[in-house]
Amino acid sequence: MNQPSAGIRYSPSLDGLRAIAALIIVFYHAKPPSFSGGFFGVDVFFVLSGFLITRLLLVEHAAAGRIDYAAFMGRRLRRLAPALWLFLLAYLVVAPLVFIETPWLKHARDAGWSAVYLVNYASSLSTGVSILGHIWSLAVEMQFYLLWPLLLGVLLRFPRHAVIGAMVLLFVCATAWRWWAAENFGNVWDFYVRADTRASGLLLGCLLGYLNCQINVRWAWPACLILAFAMTFYSTHWLASARYGFTLAEIGAALLIMSQPTWLGNRILVWIGTLSYGLYLWHYLFMRILREWGWEWPETLAIGGALGLVAAVLSYHFVERRFYRRRTDQKPEQKPGHA
């Protein structure tokens, strides 16, 4: 068995990349013109999450000779679930007062699917989601967390070249499945929120985490150009986006992860990256409320983004840190997670 055993070190650039992805999504949800592909910010998160989770699992496996699945899932739930559940409680109080055309029972059903990380299949299990559409990506990641440690534990029994080959094959198959689903599902965008059709970015991140290689920092600039092109050229409900856009965004994210330019480690970006999970949760509700009231996108972006950031600060300090703390005898490590 030949596997990477180098420890994981904290990288401010990766927190900065998390911040960039979060800000892209916040900007996109304000509905500005000429930013039709801002949804690819989620794919940056996916690649980064696959990378970080795999690095942590490899370090654990190298140290203990195994992956403690129960402990891993416990950490993931403590990190992610309390903040989500608090947000959903607030949603159940506010949504019936603002989105009055949606029955309260529908709000409650959507919150229930979101709370158990099945909202991305809500349209298959019941009806589609009215307001909580952004929670789908958290469900995809939690479903990934359920499966990947088990699969990785099996893969690590084989030689390094076999593991790399298997991961490359998984990424190719996931990409091909997305292509097929986009063309053959009832709607060209029915595939968008499903874990099985959105696994390619996570799997690419897993491959990067296993390889753990670095490239010249100059590759960061082509990466930024690739992401900028994807986010301004592609759009939803377009078959070309499903065929090529997601892969381009994943490649751009991969290049940034491997190059880790120092400018991504800017203190403001690192700070936002630390708060990005709460920012992702809360900004969308504020923006949906402002759009419901007829506000234009600049005001929606400024006010909704600011309120989302304030809520993220409160969430981080009073909820996330309370339930998820690093052991004091460990060096700082990169925190995985959706945001």
Instruction: Find the range with the poorest average confidence among 6-15, 48-57, 322-331.
Output: 322-331
- CA dist 268 → 147, 260, 271 (Å): 34, 16, 5
Contacts of 23 (CB under 8 A, 6+ apart): 41, 272
pLDDT at 235: 94
What is the tally of helices (H) and strands (E) in the chain? Answer: 15, 0
**Residue 307: both structure tokens together:** 């309120």
pLDDT in tens, 170-222: 999 999 999 999 988 877 678 899 999 999 999 999 999 999 999 999 999 99
186: which DSSP letter?
S
Q: Whole-structure pTM over 0.85, yes or no?
A: yes
Residue pLDDT, tens place only, 46-68: 999 999 999 999 999 999 999 99
Tell me what pLDDT residue 44 has: 98
Give the pLDDT confidence score for residue 323 in this predicted structure.
85
d(CA 233, CA 152): 36
Q: Kindly give the interhelix angle for 41-64 and 246-259, rounded to the nearest 10 degrees.
A: 50
Percent of the chain with pLDDT over 90: 85
Structural tokens at position 47: 């690649």
Residue ranges of domains in the chain:
12-323
Give the span between the Cα atoms of 224 and 182, in whole angstroms.
26
